[in-house]
């Protein structure tokens, strides 16, 4: 067996690290298999990487004068076939190495891709095109790692994961509820949460956080309701005498807290109140915020210019003069949704108008549109129902004939046109008016 290299990429919260760690934990470390796992964000320098690899793999240097790089190269790429050891190295957040030392970034990939290598390198990062952008030297020598992209979770996938986890909380033998019963959260609330998270980022961890905080909110409401009910019962038993205020310094629990605790103890996973859509909406407003606004603020000038060009195509043509009695309904500039080719022509026309902005090449433009589609700001509009707003299509942007539609409202786009170049963008958004 020889070494290999696998680069795992995808947005945060898609399960990259969890899956790789689970697989590596299933490997039994023995005399022939050595494992090491490093989170590159915790590394301060290139030398720390080398030393940690040497220590975690149990290949300690006997002589302090030996260079760490040469020592690692000798164990990963031995000149003889005498050794049968295999080294499995997991590098999470491997793109952080680019800010430390590019040589170690090249060396690790190169060692794992050599014909007689004993290194199996598993690199994990968010960037999809990291190897193409920063490893041209390996690509020129036909040494390219295997790629495993992770797509963001879709709404049905998030809903399935949450539903499965909640059903595991039901006690065995609870036959008083139907088989499809979900404890603690109503199915419609789970669906609402899944669509919220999928439309923003597809991060499964955010969905877990949202559900967890929603359950906490319902728990607080139930406790408050039980405490109010206990206080009302006490008033009914002695209406003529108001209850004395409780002393919080007493070590013994109060009667009200004991009655509330006993009342709550009677609730089970089957009988506990369930969170509704209103609960999820309340928590998501504080947890998720406005995802589109955050994504718009992170765009560069050219990306915003493409959005402005698309928005200008969607603007209605001006109506007759204000004083006219007969008014005709406004109609769109294009019949149907514009294609990528039509959008590029409009973009170039608006950019060259008054020399406002230097336009991109057609290849660069298609890449920018694809990036906006990945962010869920634009989408493929093939007619019919299309797909969920804000969710990237799995096919991606195919070519000039792909029809596009804007997921960003005019008000949201205008609010992000601030800072350097805002005047140019506002003129582009105005279009040919």
For the segment 393-416, what is each residue's pLDDT rounded down to a tens digit?
444 455 677 888 887 888 888 888
Q: Three-state SS for 251?
A: coil
The answer to whether residues 120 and 145 touch, using CB atoms and an 8 Å cutoff, is: no
Task: Say how far apart CA 330 and CA 314 lie, in whole Å.
Answer: 12
Average pLDDT over residues 193-212: 91
Q: 135-164 burial, b for 16+ CB within 10 Å, e for fewer?
A: beebeeeeeebeeeebebbbbebbbebbbe
Please state the pTM of the whole predicted model.
0.61
The 10s digit of each residue's pLDDT in 118-171 is 999 999 998 877 777 777 777 777 778 898 999 999 999 999 999 999 999 888
Torsion region of 250: left, alpha or beta (phi above 0 gives left; psi -120 to 50 gives alpha): beta
What's residue 255's pLDDT?
56
Query: Of the given ranges (9-18, 43-52, 186-195, 374-383), which has the lowest mean pLDDT?
Result: 374-383
Residue 284 to residue 58: CA distance in whole angstroms: 47
Interatomic CA distance for residues 195 and 210, integer angstroms: 12
Question: Cα(first)–Cα(last) distance of the chain, in Å?
Answer: 67
Does pLDDT of 79 surpass 70? Answer: yes
């Amino acid at each position: 067996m020889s070494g290999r290299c696998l680069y795992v990429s995808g947005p945060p919260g898609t399960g990259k690290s969890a899956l790789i760690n689970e697989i590596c934990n299933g490997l039994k470390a023995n005399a022939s298999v050595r494992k090491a796992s490093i989170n590159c964000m915790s590394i301060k320098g290139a030398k720390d990487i080398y030393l940690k690899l040497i220590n975690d793999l149990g290949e300690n240097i006997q002589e302090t004068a030996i260079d760490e790089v040469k020592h690692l190269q000798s164990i990963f790429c031995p000149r003889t076939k005498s050794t049968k050891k295999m080294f499995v190295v997991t590098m999470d957040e491997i793109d952080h190495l680019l800010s430390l030392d590019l040589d170690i970034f090249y060396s690790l990939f190169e060692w794992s891709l050599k014909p007689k290598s004993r290194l199996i390198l598993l690199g994990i990062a968010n960037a999809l095109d990291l190897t193409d952008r920063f490893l041209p030297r390996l690509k020129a020598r036909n040494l390219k790692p295997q790629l495993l992209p992770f797509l963001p979770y879709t709404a049905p996938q998030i809903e399935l994961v949450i539903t499965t986890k909640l059903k595991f909380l039901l006690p065995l033998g609870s036959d008083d509820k139907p088989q499809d019963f979900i404890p603690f959260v109503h199915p419609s609330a789970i669906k609402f949460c899944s669509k919220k998270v999928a439309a923003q980022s597809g991060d499964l961890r955010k969905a877990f956080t949202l559900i967890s905080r929603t359950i906490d909110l319902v728990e607080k409401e139930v406790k408050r309701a039980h405490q109010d009910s206990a206080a009302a019962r006490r008033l009914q038993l002695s209406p003529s005498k108001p209850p004395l205020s409780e002393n919080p310094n007493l070590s013994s629990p109060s009667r009200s807290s004991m009655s509330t605790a006993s009342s709550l103890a009677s609730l089970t996973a089957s009988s506990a109140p369930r969170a509704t859509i209103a609960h999820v909406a309340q928590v998501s407003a504080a947890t998720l915020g406005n995802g589109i606004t955050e994504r718009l603020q992170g765009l560069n000038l050219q990306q915003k210019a493409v959005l402005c060009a698309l928005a200008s195509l969607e603007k209605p043509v001006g109506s007759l003069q204000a004083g006219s009695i007969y008014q005709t309904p406004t109609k769109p500039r294009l019949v149907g949704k514009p294609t990528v080719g039509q959008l590029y022509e409009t973009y170039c026309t608006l950019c060259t108008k008054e020399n406002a902005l230097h336009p991109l090449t057609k290849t660069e433009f298609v890449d920018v549109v694809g990036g906006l589609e990945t962010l869920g700001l634009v989408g493929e509009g093939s007619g019919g129902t299309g797909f969920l707003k804000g969710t990237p299509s799995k096919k991606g942007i195919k070519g000039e004939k792909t029809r596009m539609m804007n997921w960003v409202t005019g008000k949201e786009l205008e609010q992000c046109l601030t800072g350097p170049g805002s005047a140019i963008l506002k003129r582009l958004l105005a279009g040919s008016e």
